[in-house]
Each structure stands twice: as structure tokens, then as C-alpha cells.
Amino acid sequence: MAIKILLMKIRMYKSFVCGVIAWLVLLGSPMVGASDWPMLGANPQHSSKGQVEVSLAPDERWQVNAARRFYASPVVVGDRIYMAARGKRVKALSVTDGALLWESAVGGTISATPAVYKDTLIIGSKDGVIVALDTATGEQKWKQKTGNKILSSPVVYGEIVYVGSNDLHVYALDVESGKLLWRYYAKDYKYGGLYASPAVDESAVYIGAKNGVLHSMDRKTGKPRWKISLGSSIYGAAMINDGRLYVGSYDRHLYAIQASDGKVLWKAELDDWPQGSPLLFNDMLYIASRVGILYGINAESGKLRWQLDLEEGLRHSPVVGSNGIAVIGTTEGRLVGIDLNSRELVWERFVEGGVYNAPALSRHGITIGTLDGVVVLME
């Protein structure tokens, strides 16, 4: 009996020690959590949904002047904010006060948003190189050369990073080593290219090209599944939900497409070019237009149900918190909060410089980078 009790105590002690070790590892690890925002649109499906509530009356916690300008969206993982600046640099800032923790130079000008997976940050630039940096130090881990500039924001799914290059190829790379797993050729015209970020689900990768063709390829092999020509150039990433793709085209339409075979289910007309990816909340899709109108379109039928004219230019996707408060910024630096439950504007704030990229939502609050190179955290 005494031996059984002793063995039980040993097992309990080992379990306790293993649990403590795991907890300590987690504390010191940059692992991506549910309340983080690790890539453009929050995830490979570009849902643009945060797992945290957005404040009904946000106040500025801090702001810092960090660079010349930001066209890329912020990425927030753990207690760090990662920003890709126009001036060929990636910066890591503290969420506490915006202090610079490290900065790393890359070869070319950056317009794309980074993606973070575990302890690796991946970014592409206009020199055509995809670079992986250590999230703790900013030191380079690997790089992979492509044949032309990269304006497409990378996404990570299943330890594979997917990114488009203007050499007209989609690249699938191993996150840890940068090894090329496959590449897919998206034929385009002479001045075409891949500007959109890939969207990825369990089965496939989807990406739109400047010539208006939306491509689908097998996620693991890169083999073509289908392609369909939409009305004009595709610059924003598709959003994936429940077997459907929703994507805007510069023919001034929002499309609903069946993910399995590329069948167009409906298209909705807009007043101007769509910006970024559509946001799905409940049964409504919300998409911004270049001239400043935010549309609400029924996701099942494609019928227009609501619109809000912000009277200033828009250049990115709206994002939404778990409580239904959506956030979008204008080219004049006006940041607004909209309750998508009531479809009413509930607050507005002003930041220094135009907002040309989607905010990031995390447990720390709302992070914004502006065209004046200012980073703001609101909570």
C-alpha cells in the first residue's frame, strides 16, 4: 500500500513539474495566441475578425513616430507589435509604450504586411526576396529569392508560408527552413502581377491577379484546381467562409464564388473600386470602396442592404471585434467605430496621417500605422 502511495506521489510530482515547465516555456515563447493578430486579415482566410472586444470609447494609450510611412498593416503577437515600414525596415515595438525593441533592414521597399508563425516573421519586399526573421532579435533566419518584386502579403497555414510574386508565381515555402515546396504559375499580361495576398483553407490556395483571373491550386502540391476570369484587376485578398470565396474586382463588383469549383454565385455592383477584403458579420458582408462608402451586402443573395458614406477615401478592409464593433480608418486620419449589430457609428478618433492599412485588434487594443509613420495604440 505504501509503495502505491509513493508511486502516486511521484506521478503527481512529475505531472506538476511538467506542467510548470510547459507554463514557463509558454510565457517565454512568442507562440501565436487566439487574441493575437499574426497576419493580414488576422488569419489565412482573411476573416478580419478579432477574438477580443473593441472598446465603446477607446482612448489613446500611446503613439510613437516610428518611420517615414506605413502601407503595411500592423501585426501583434504576444507583447510585441511588428511593423513593416516603407523605408526597407521591419520594426518590433513594445505594446507597453511603443519602445523600439529591434529593427531589421531588408533589401527592398516594403508594402506588404508581415506574417508571424511561432518565433518566425516572414516578409517580402520589392527586391523580390522573401525574408524570415527571428521575432526575438530581428536576425535573419533564411531568405528565398523570387524573380520580381513582392507586393503580396504572406500567410501561413500548416507550417507552410504562401506568398505571391510579380514574377507571376505563387510560392509555397517551409516556414522553418525557407525550402521551396512548390510554385504555381499564374499567367498574366506583360504589366500584370500578383498584388493580392493568398487566401488559404484546408484544401486550396486562392489568389487573384492583376488581369482579373482568380486562381485556385491544391494547398499541398500547387497543382491547379480551377481558374475564373472576373471583370477586372484583383488587388484585395479573397475572404473564405463556409465553402465560399468573397472577393472584390476593379470592375466595381463584389463576387461570391463557390470554393470547390469556381462557380460565380452572385455579384454585387459598387460605386467605385473595392478596397481590401470583405468582412462577414452575421449574414452581412461589409466592403469599403475607394471613394469612402462602406457597403452592407447580404451574403446569401448579394443584395445591398445598407451603406454608410464616410466622405473620405478608404484604402483597406474593415476589422471587427467579438462584440460587433468594426473599425476602419480614412485617408484623412479619421478612425471610426461602427456597431454592426445596430449599424450605427458609435465613436470616432483622429490620428496623425492617413490610414492606408487595416488596423490590428488584439487583447492590447487597436493598433494603427499611418502614412506619416506614426504608430498608435488605443484601448
Q: What is the DSSP string of 353-374?
A: S---S--EEETTEEEEE-TTSE
Say which CATH architecture domain 36-378 belongs to. 7 Propeller (2.130)
Task: Please report the pLDDT score of residue 224 as a whole number.
Answer: 98
Q: From CA 121, how far away is CA 99, in angstroms rounded? A: 19
Residue 227: phi, psi to the nearest 5?
-150, 150
Q: What is the pLDDT of residues 101-116, one digit of tens each?
A: 999 999 899 999 999 9
User: What's this model's pTM, rounded to 2 decimal places?
Assistant: 0.91
Q: What is the pLDDT of residues 148-190, one digit of tens each?
A: 999 999 999 999 999 999 999 999 999 999 999 999 999 999 8
3-class SS of residue 57: coil
Which candidate, 260, 257, 198, places its Cα nearest to that of 231?
A: 257
- The letter for the amino acid at 42 is A
3-class SS of residue 22: helix
Distances (CA, A) of 49 to 7, 241, 307, 318, 349: 48, 12, 20, 9, 21
Task: Please report the pLDDT score of residue 190 as a whole number.
Answer: 86
Confidence of residue 28 (pLDDT cuts 50, 70, 90): very low
| Contacts made by residues 216-222, CB under 8 angstroms, sequence distance 24+ | 216/259, 216/262, 217/170, 217/184, 219/157, 219/158, 219/160, 219/172, 221/182, 222/170, 222/172, 222/181, 222/182, 222/183, 222/184
3-class SS of residue 75: strand
The domains of the chain are located at: 36-378
> Which residues are CB-contacts of 184 (< 8 A; sequence separation ≥ 6)?
169, 170, 205, 215, 217, 222, 224
Q: What is the pLDDT of residues 288-308, one digit of tens each?
A: 999 999 999 999 999 999 999
Q: From CA 192, how far away is CA 184, in angstroms rounded? A: 16
DSSP H helices, 96-136, are: none
Task: Please report the pLDDT score of residue 34 as a whole number.
Answer: 84
Q: What is the pLDDT of residues 277-287, one digit of tens each?
A: 999 999 999 99
Average model confidence (pLDDT) across the chain = 92
Task: Please report the pLDDT score of residue 31 as a whole number.
Answer: 59
Contact between residue 105 and residue 133 where contact means Cβ atoms under 8 Å apart: no
Q: What is the pLDDT of residues 327-367, one digit of tens each?
A: 999 999 999 999 999 999 999 999 999 999 999 999 999 99
